[in-house]
Amino acid sequence: MTEIPWKTYTENQKFSCFDESTEKDWNGNFYFVQTADIQFGLIQRYLENNPQPGWAKETALAELAVEKVNRMRPRPRFMVMCGDLCDAFPEQQPELREQQEKEFKRIFSKLHQDIPLVCVCGNHDVGDEPTAKSVQAYRNSFGDDYFTFWCGGIFFIVINSQFLWDSSKVQDIAQEHEEWLNCVLAEAKKNKVKRAMVFQHIPWFLYSPDENESNYFCLNLETRMKWMDKLREAGVQYTFCGHYHQNAGGAYKDLRVVTTSAMGGQLGKDSPGVRVVRVQERTVDHVYYSLENIPSVIQVDQPE
Ligand SMILES: [Fe+2]
């Protein structure tokens, strides 16, 4: 058996393209590709209600995405998958999970070597109620579940929103995550970081910061109010999320919360796709493309 070549960005395994000494400063317009929820296994299990596990549809979608993203010019600085990499919960179905992860890595290792894949942890990746065991299994397979990096003058913060959803079985690990995030945000505020973005799985809210807190698809009101001003004060202007399997978005003051539909199974009227986020010197814009329509040329210098 040949070893699956696998690369993912983590704090411990820094790609040279995210070298802080060169990436902290603005170095011209660029873009990245943001997506979420390829979730190998969801379509057959949930949308088709098929008792036999399988993920042929996700395989075809992921292969199309990799092929299209590899064709993009100039190349994106990175691609980020905002959680739910696979469908099977690690504690309930570890063997099935292992097969799905193998498929995820088989396909995404075909991304061009100059396009790092940043993986974010979703609820299906550690369970709705994460445990020490499920978190460790994720870290063993994908690396860190929370970290920061600089790219093109923007400070990126990857968080594990599952600790904000339900920390009942992982209070000590969730506490470490909270202390780390407080520290990162305080440091960014102290250093007057001007442009920062967050990647997470579960959105703070879908459309409006004061919407109903009993929604399965976003974090509750108390949690979001605890963090959103801290994010703003640390220079965070955008937070990109997944989990909803539909596109959504809204703003809290000057913090924009952008929810991107799934690369895999849909729960609304969107098509499987990715979001292209262009970063210019003073502005950011983003467009969701279905996989078939991912453009091969991105005009990074064209004014908005
Ligand atoms: Fe999810």
* Gap from CA of 76 to ligand 1 centroid (Å): 25
At 304, is the pLDDT very low, low, confident or very high (cuts 50, 70, 90)? Answer: low
Q: Residues 76-86: pLDDT tens digits?
A: 999 999 999 99
Whether 258 shows a pLDDT value over 60: the answer reads: yes
Q: Residues 246-257: pLDDT tens digits?
A: 999 999 999 999
* CATH 3.40.190.10 holds for 16-293: no
* Gap from CA of 41 to ligand 1 centroid (Å): 13
Higher confidence at residue 95 or residue 16? 95
* Gap from CA of 1 to ligand 1 centroid (Å): 32
* Gap from CA of 237 to ligand 1 centroid (Å): 23
Averaged pLDDT score across all residues of the chain: 93
Whether 2 shows a pLDDT value over 70: the answer reads: no
* Gap from CA of 284 to ligand 1 centroid (Å): 26
104 neighbors 141 (Cβ within 8 angstroms): no
At 212, is the pLDDT very low, low, confident or very high (cuts 50, 70, 90)? Answer: confident
In this structure, of 17-21, 43-47, 164-168, 262-266, the range with the lowest mean pLDDT score is 17-21
* Gap from CA of 248 to ligand 1 centroid (Å): 14
* Helix (H) or strand (E) run with residue 274 in it: strand 273-279
246 neighbors 48 (Cβ within 8 angstroms): no
| Of residues 217, 264, 245, the one with CA closest to residue 104 | 264
